């Protein structure tokens, strides 16, 4: 592997930008219809592929004060921006103590709300009220389910998670989620378990529906296939197994320039737990804000507290969403790095699945 693998992405040559330039393309935010809010890094799981590096030991949480700043900003500018979707993610977004408050406030503003749910959280003590609350607020559930086989799910997400997921899906189906003629949407998310690209989404969705209905009497609306991004935990695994270069070459070799017109950053911004603004969730995790300082890279032998302070530096010191005007967000060039090939490879990848 080359030395550049060990450099932070913001210091590596931006091969994606070079590819866009060679194809005569530009990546610009044309509209802003989706506000993706990271409510924190706390999660009851610690999945191997997690680009957030979320887990039970993480304490980063979006405060109610930050939520109120965002809501006030929405009230001020939404007529100009026409944001229609609030995409709530984490960690496990439901573990934020102000989750219900935020959902209620967003619903009162007429936004369609997505909850990126790991399913098992719905079964944990203290969260038993959540399914009924999500029904009452007509929240669309986007649930991680990397396979319909127990072995593959438990390998990626932890022992016992598959059984908990099946139990939670039964609970959601009983409430109407994912059922025929119901308006309560339940979508599942597939991430490859290994180091390959996702298979074609329509065929895999058909297989999921067949296997889950036949073996577990479970129903859902759509399957979203999402490429694993070569950042954070997945990047660590690639480097550990000597697969980083091969994976990057696979992404670059599968680049489809037609996908550039449909990537999610053209109509979305991602908001960190302290309100900093990023072009997408992946840029957020590698600390590439729209307007803010570059990340601080601690030394290899740094203490855990020093590493966390460095990780929080960009989020804490970047310009917040309530400090932006619509003119500063629309028509703006997207910040890119080589990981962006993950969104344009093959059929493309976004938070709502394949692009074509």
Distances (CA, A) of 35 to 70, 145, 166, 258: 10, 23, 30, 24
Strand order in the sheet with 112-117: 222-225, 186-190, 140-144, 112-117, 85-89, 34-38, 268-271, 277-278
User: How many C-beta atoms lie closer than 10 Å to residue 265's C-beta?
Assistant: 22
Task: Kindly write down the DSSP assignment for every residue of 74-123, as one continuous string.
Answer: HHHHHHHH---EEEEESSSGGGSTTHHHHHHHHHHTT-EEEEEE-SGGGG
pTM passes above 0.85: yes
Run of H or E residues at 136: helix 130-136
pLDDT at 225 over 50: yes
Peptide bond preceding 164: is omega within 30 degrees of 0, i.e. cis?
Answer: no
pLDDT tens readout for residues 59-92? 899 999 999 999 999 999 999 999 999 999 998 9
Cα separation, 170 vs 148, in Å, equals 14
φ, ψ of residue 224 in degrees (nearest 5)? -105, 120
Report the candidate in 86, 181, 89 with the shortest Cα–Cα distance to residue 137: 86
pLDDT at 134 over 60: yes
User: How many C-beta atoms lie closer than 10 Å to residue 348's C-beta?
Assistant: 26
pLDDT tens readout for residues 2-36? 434 455 666 678 999 999 999 999 999 999 999 99
Pick the CATH number of 3-344 from 3.90.25, 3.20.20, 1.10.3430, 3.30.420: 3.20.20
User: How many C-beta atoms lie closer than 10 Å to residue 61's C-beta?
Assistant: 19
Domain boundaries, the chain: 3-344
């Amino acid at each position: 592997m080359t030395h550049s693998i060990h450099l932070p992405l913001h210091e590596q040559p931006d091969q994606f930008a070079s590819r866009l330039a060679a194809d005569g393309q530009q990546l610009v935010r044309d509209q802003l219809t989706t506000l993706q809010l990271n409510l924190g890094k706390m999660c009851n799981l610690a999945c191997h592929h997690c680009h957030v590096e979320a887990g039970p030991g993480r304490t980063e949480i979006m405060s109610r004060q930050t939520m109120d700043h965002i809501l006030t900003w929405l009230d001020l500018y939404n007529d100009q921006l026409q944001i229609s979707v609030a995409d709530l993610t984490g960690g496990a977004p439901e573990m934020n103590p102000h989750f219900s408050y935020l959902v209620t406030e967003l619903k009162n503003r007429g936004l369609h709300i997505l909850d990126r749910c790991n399913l098992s959280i719905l079964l944990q003590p203290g969260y038993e009220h959540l399914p009924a609350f999500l029904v009452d607020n007509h929240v669309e559930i986007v649930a991680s389910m990397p396979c319909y086989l127990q072995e593959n799910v438990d390998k990626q997400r932890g022992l016992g998670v598959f059984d908990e997921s099946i139990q939670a899906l039964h609970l959601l189906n009983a409430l109407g989620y994912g059922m025929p003629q119901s308006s309560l949407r339940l979508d599942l998310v597939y991430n490859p378990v290994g180091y390959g690209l996702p298979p074609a989404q329509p065929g895999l969705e058909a297989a999921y529906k067949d296997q889950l209905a036949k073996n577990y009497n479970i129903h859902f609306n759509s399957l979203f296939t999402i490429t694993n991004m070569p950042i954070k935990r997945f990047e660590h695994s690639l480097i550990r197994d000597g697969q980083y270069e091969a994976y990057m070459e696979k992404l670059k070799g599968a680049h489809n320039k037609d996908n550039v017109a449909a990537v999610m950053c053209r109509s979305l911004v991602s908001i960190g737990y302290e309100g900093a603004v990023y072009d997408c969730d992946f840029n957020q995790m590698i600390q590439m804000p729209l307007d803010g300082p570059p990340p601080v890279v601690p030394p290899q032998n740094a203490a855990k507290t020093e590493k966390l302070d460095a990780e929080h530096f960009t989020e804490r010191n970047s310009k917040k969403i309530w400090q932006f005007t619509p003119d500063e967000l629309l028509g703006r060039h997207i910040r890119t790095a080589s990981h962006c090939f993950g969104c344009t490879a093959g059929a493309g990848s976004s938070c709502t699945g394949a692009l074509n």
